Structure formats: C-alpha cells, structure tokens
A and B are shown apart, each in its own frame.
Chain A
Amino acid sequence: MIGIDGWTFRLTLVKTTPLLFAALGGLHSERAGIANIALEGMMLTSAFFSVVGSYFTGSAFVGVLLGVASAAGLGFLLGFLSDKARGDQIVIGVAINLLALGLTGYLLETIFGHPGNTPPVSKLPEIYIPILDEWEYGFIFSGHHPLVYIAFLLVPLVHFELYHTPWGLRLRSIGEDPKVADSLGVNVLRMRLCSTTISGILAGLGGAALSLGELSLFAERMTAGRGYLALAALIFGKWTPTGVLLTTLFFGFVDAWQEALQSQFMEIPSEFFTMLPYLFSLIVLIVFVKQIKPPSSIGKPFVKSK
C-alpha cells in the first residue's frame, strides 16, 4: 500500500507504545470493575510532570518517575472517589480529565511563563540491540527508547499476572462479582484501590513515553485523545492482554501510516489523515465487534455488606 515501508513499521512500534501502556492500565482497573475513562487525563498529567522533572533535574529518568507518580495519584483518586464516596465512575473520570487539562495548562503557563509548549528537555536515551543491528530490517526493532521495550515486555507479564497468580484470579473475580469475592475473604476495596493506582502508573508510563520518548517536550493537550483510543482498544481487545496488544498495534499502525501519507500528500490538509485512526477504529468497532461483554460489575460502586 502507499507510504508503507520499513520505517512505517518502526514508527508503528513507537506509536503503539503509549496506547499499549494506557490500555494495559485500563485493563487493570476495568477488570477490577472500575470504568476508567480517566486514562486520557492520567497520560496528559504524566506527560507534563515527566517534562517538568526532566527540566529541573536534567534527568529523563527522574522525569518519568515524577510523571508516573502524578498519574498514580490520579489513579488512586479515581479508586478512592469511586468506592469511598460512591461517585459515578464515568463522571469522576470526566472530572479527572478536566482537572488534568486545567492543571497542565495552568502550571505550564505558571512555571514556564508562556502557554503552548515547554522548551525541549533531555529525553530518554535510545537503546540499540547489537544482534538486531546486523539484520537488514533490524532498524525496525532496535534503537528505540527503553519504554518501547518495556511496553511490549509487559504484555506477557500482565498475562501471567492475570491468569497464573492468585492476585490475578482475585482481580478478575472482583470485576465479575465483588460480593462473592468479598464473602470469600478478598479485600475488595483495597484491591480496587490498588488496581486503579496501577492503572495510573501504567497510563503514566504511556504519557511519559509520549513526551520524553517520542518527543522531548510537553505541548498543551498533547495526548489528543490517545487515552480514549486506548479505551477503545481495550474494548476491541475484549479486556485481555493479548487482545489489547493486537488492537493497539493496529491503531499504532494506522497512526504511523497516516503520518507517512501526510508527508506524501502535502497538498491535502493534514487533518484529513489525522482523522483516519479515529475513523478506522470507529469502523472496526461498528463492523467487527458483534456483542461484547464487559466485566459484570463495571461502573458500580462496591458497598461492603455489614
């Protein structure tokens, strides 16, 4: 097809990374029964604080830590308000996204003195894998920033966590029927709080991958709906790690492809191509997804019976 070569596949891996992190994050909270529309805000907040950390310390790794911590805080907030305050999870998610938008916009102007974007900061290093570099197509897989490798390595790890550990079994059980899990002695509230915090950590890694891996600065609203795309990927992927891997790879590929098309057809406004990943996922959703069954308890606050 037009505009597809080795570099498109290399870019696909880069574009998939933030989505994969966020979708795996969403998987943790939704499998535990908490709808997570706040992935977008978590990514944006982490993207910002990663850059702030890197700006003030000169170390991209410290930046990533700060970013992840900020997103973890939002994850904790989501879990806390959902269960302790029994708020509507979607509304809390919307509020967190608004908060992220306002906070990053306000602090950007207050810390850096002007709106729009931050100055460039030190970014994550590129890591080369010697064996791959000798292969003709090695450049597709080698020379990425570390978060790219971590994202893909997380897939088998999360799979193992979910299906082969007691913790994973409990996580799935509270998402299907928290009352039964509770009666069997699982601490549902604590597990749900852990799961949303983990989802914050993972979405935060996704945000950092965007601002310190793909780019080296923060721009207002830079996540541009990636958190929502990750959520869509989670649904297409039927809430499983392997499903999520395939769907985010698909979105990442469409995103990489549209960038290639943009530079090839300069006379067509770029917005046309930017629209494609969203349009494609909408079409896939409508055409291919027949009947989906989310975790049963999703969206409902858990009230421990006395």
Chain B
Amino acid sequence: MKREFIYSAISVALGLLLGAAFLILTGKDPLSTYRWMFYGAWGKPSFIAETMTRTTPLVFTGLALMMGFRAGVFNIGAEGQLLMGGITAAVIGIYVHLPFPIHPLLALVIAALVGGALGYIPGVLKVKRGLNEVVVTILMNYVAIYFTNYLVRGPLKSGYLPRTAPIAESAQIPVVFPGTRLHAGFVLAIFLAVILKIVIDKSTWGYELKATGYNPFASLFGGIKTNKMVMLAMTFSGALAAAAGAVEILGLHHRFYGQFSPGYGFDGIMVALIGRNDPIGVIFAAMLLATLRTGAGLVQLRAGVSKEIIWVIQALIILFVSISQVYDMWFRKRGEQF
C-alpha cells in the first residue's frame, strides 16, 4: 500500500518535470509558472480557503470513482450524475419550502438518490447484458449535459441568463469561515472519506468489494455475489457523484447554471487514480488538483502563461500514474540485485 503512494508521488514529480520541459519548449519560464501556481493556491489564508473550496467536489467525485474501481468497474459517467444531482438539488432548493437544516439535507439526499439510480442503470446493463459500462456512462454524460443545459435555457430559465432562479436561503449549506467561499460541504467531504476508509478497510462488505475488483472469478467461487457488488458499487458511485453536484449548488453557487462544473466528474478519475483508490489518498489527490486549479489563475495573470497548461500537466501526471507497473518492475529488479 505504502509503495503505491510513492509511485503516485513519483508520477506527480515526473508530470511536473515534463510539464516544465513543455513550458520551456513553448518559450515560457517554468520556475515562475510553478512559483505563481503554488503562491496562488497556498500563499494567503484567503487563497488556502479557495483551494479547500475547490477540493470539496473533487473529494466527492474521487470517492465516487474509487467505489467503482474497487469493484473493477469504471464509472466515467460521474460528470453526468454530478450535473443531474446539481439540478435536482437546485429544483428542491427553489420549489420546496422547508426550515434550514432539513432543507439542504433533503435536497442532498434526493440528489444522491437520483445519482444512485443513474449509476444503477449502467451497473445492471453491465451485469445482465454484458454492455460495457464505459460506453453507456459516456453516452449518459452527453444526455445529462445537454438535458440540463436545455432545462436552464427552457423550462427552468430565470431572467436573461441561462440559469435557474436562486435557491431559498434555508436550503444553503452555510459558509464556515466568513469572508471566504469555504462552506460546510468541505467538512462533509472529509467526514465521508474517513467513514469510507473505515468501512472499506474493516467491514466484510468492504472486503467483498475489494475481492470483486481484484478477482471476480475467485470471489464468485468463494461465495461473494459479485454481480450484486458491481451493481452496488455503481449505485454508490452515482450517489457520491450526484452529491458532489448538490453540494456545489447548495454550498457555493446557490443556483444551477450549465458551466458550474469544469469537469469535476472527469477529474474524479484522476483523483481516484492518484489517490490509489484509498479514501485518505483521495483527499490528498483532490488537494493536489485543487492546488493546480486555484493556482492557475495567477499563472495566467502573473506568469503570462495560458492557464490551460494545468490540463497538460494533469494529463502527464495521469499518464505516469497509468504506467506504474514500470516502477514496480524497476523496484523489483533492484530488489533482486541486493
């Protein structure tokens, strides 16, 4: 387990290094780029709060993808589930009237149920029909993207801009530190990660989940209902992704608009992989990506480098993570020599 985290750290370092080479190639200064990136994310208390704010949805979607990977399925539909969760939370926040703590909680729970159903569909199709969950969830993503955009330009439109009306004040997740955007959703995300860590490491269910992902045939032979585990994992995965969207709407944006997610659902893939499918690893990986994202603003402003560069760096990191087998072989060879 520990060695895996070292591989992630190596991948991050290599990604940043190759990113620097790429910056030099395009005539930019990598040192000033990285310095502004770090300063922009961690340089001031208000910057740190912003980084934490951006960490929040990434922890949720990272956990969502982790659930799938643990059972050996790939829920690439997190983005669509997140959007559907967000629009569900917005609708409940706008049209249902309830007192404060119940209102956001209900919105969150119903959004998670919707997401769970959306995760269940590809899970069932995979188990019963052999349909590849990757293709099904990708198609579902596009349906969700265009459907929610249609809603905010059509039936749910409020005012001139393509967005919904604001949610009621009673539905808002409160801000933790006044003067920043950091809301209680962050606390919830960390809490969930810790709970999942305990459940996965200590419960029979967590063991069965891992076993299903590790070797479905042996698990089936050993009496684990692997089909059920796959469907459960997809359902929970969908629910977590939808919760990410709901928390963003209830805690941060307070209304739904099409571009509120810069692809947090897809980012969940990276978060889960860099975090090595471990809930605590997910928290750190989410912070890493949030650092890149938050720092990107100053990179563009001060270093004069297009903030799109962070996408290149992220992709490079993931490429290095995806070939971790190589590090493994390298470590083993070294081990044999000594």
Interface positions of A (Cβ within 8 A of B): 37, 81, 85-88, 90-92, 94-96, 98-99, 101-103, 105-110, 115, 224-225, 228-229, 231-232, 235, 268-269, 271-272, 274-275, 278-279, 281-282, 285-286, 289-294
Name 27 A/B residue pairs within 8 A (Cβ), A-sorted.
A81-B322, A85-B322, A86-B325, A87-B322, A87-B324, A88-B322, A92-B322, A94-B318, A98-B318, A102-B311, A102-B315, A106-B308, A106-B312, A108-B308, A225-B141, A229-B139, A232-B135, A232-B139, A235-B135, A272-B150, A275-B146, A278-B142, A282-B140, A289-B129, A290-B129, A292-B129, A293-B130
* Contact between B143 and A85, CB atoms less than 8 A apart: no
List residues 99-137 of chain B with CB under 8 A from any CB of chain A. Answer: 125, 129-132, 134-136
Contacts of A282 on B, CB cut-off 8 Å?
A: 136, 139-140, 143
Contacts of B153 on A, CB cut-off 8 Å?
A: 269, 271
Interface majority SS on B: helix, strand, loop or mixed? helix
Nearest CB in chain B: distance from A81 CB, A = 6
Contacts of A103 on B, CB cut-off 8 Å?
A: 311-312, 315
Q: B309 contacts the other chain (Cβ, under 8 Å)?
A: yes
Q: B176 contacts the other chain (Cβ, under 8 Å)?
A: no
Contacts of B61 on A, CB cut-off 8 Å?
A: none
Instruction: Knowing A225-B138, A272-B150, A282-B139, say if A98 contacts B308 (CB, 8 Å).
Output: no
Interface positions of B (Cβ within 8 A of A): 26, 74, 76, 125, 129-132, 134-136, 138-143, 146-147, 149-150, 153-154, 266, 269-270, 273, 306, 308-316, 318-319, 321-326
Using CB atoms, name the residue of chain B closest to A41: B315
* Contact between B319 and A110, CB atoms less than 8 A apart: no
Bound Cα distance from A144 to B203, whole angstroms: 62
Using CB atoms, name the residue of chain A closest to B318: A95
Contacts of A281 on B, CB cut-off 8 Å?
A: 139
Contact of A106 among B311, B319, B325 (CB under 8 A): B311
Contacts of A293 on B, CB cut-off 8 Å?
A: 130
Contacts of B266 on A, CB cut-off 8 Å?
A: 94, 98
